[in-house]
Amino acid sequence: MGPAALARFATIALRSRDVASFGVRMGRLAVAARTVTEAEQRTVIARTLNLTDWPARRLVITAVDAATGERTAFDDTSGVRLLDAVGASCAVPGIYPPVTIDGTRWIDGGVHSSANADLATGYERVVIVAPMAASGGPIAGPRAQGEQLARRGARVCVLTPDRAARAAFGRNVLDPAKRADAARAGRRQAAARVARIRQVWSD
């Protein structure tokens, strides 16, 4: 997923009146795109995830209905298998196929928001780790969502990639060959921000 795909997403965002209409347009893009099959992608995700059960600690995984543009948040009470929820959340439009769950086709939850940090509303302490910090048009970025949570009384820390991390990601943020470089860059950045994160949890 290089600059051309990102530019196409940005253009669709700027032409959308709200986040739901953006989701619908991205859903159309996803459904029409020529990608690997859903079964092939599911096999890849199953091998990478190597888990079948939801964890004991609460985990929420977002996805967007490709037909309506509406976001949902899957968890262990949703009646959806972990593998299917992860697959839906990874279904980047135009890159990977939508995931079908009970007849509904789902795409990446990042279509609604790059961080979906609004789901943390009501928590007193929030750390937002957002590898993708993009925003534009109707799409709220992690910093804007963090500021909104802070206005509601939460103690918030927002972590987005610094310049070195973005360089490590490269021009194609889905390139698996960049994983090691990205991990090292993240580790370096974490060392520089650990005091701020500790402050959120400890004060």
Q: Strand 99-101's sheet: what is its strand order?
A: 71-74, 61-65, 104-108, 99-101
Q: What is the pLDDT along the chain (203 residues), one digit of tens a residue?
A: 777 777 787 788 778 889 999 999 999 999 999 999 999 999 999 999 999 999 999 999 999 999 999 999 999 999 999 999 999 999 999 999 999 999 999 999 999 998 999 999 999 999 999 998 877 678 888 999 999 999 999 999 999 999 999 999 988 888 999 999 999 999 999 999 999 999 998 87
Residue recorded with tokens 């974490």: 190
| pLDDT tens readout for residues 140-156 | 889 999 999 999 999 99
Q: Are strands 125-129 and 71-74 parallel, antiparallel or unpaired?
A: unpaired
Residue 186 CA to residue 35 CA, distance in Å, equals 30
Cα torsion 95, 108, 54, 81: sign: negative
Amino acid identity of residue 82, one-letter, is: L
| pLDDT tens readout for residues 92-122 | 999 999 999 999 999 999 999 989 999 999 9
Residue 138 phi/psi, 5-degree rounding, is -85, 0
- Give the per-residue pLDDT at 88: 97
State the pTM of this model: 0.90
What is the chain's length?
A: 203
- Give the per-residue pLDDT at 171: 85
- Give the per-residue pLDDT at 5: 76
What is the SS3 assignment for 178? helix
- Structural Rg of the chain based on CA atoms: 17
- Give the per-residue pLDDT at 177: 94
- Give the per-residue pLDDT at 128: 96
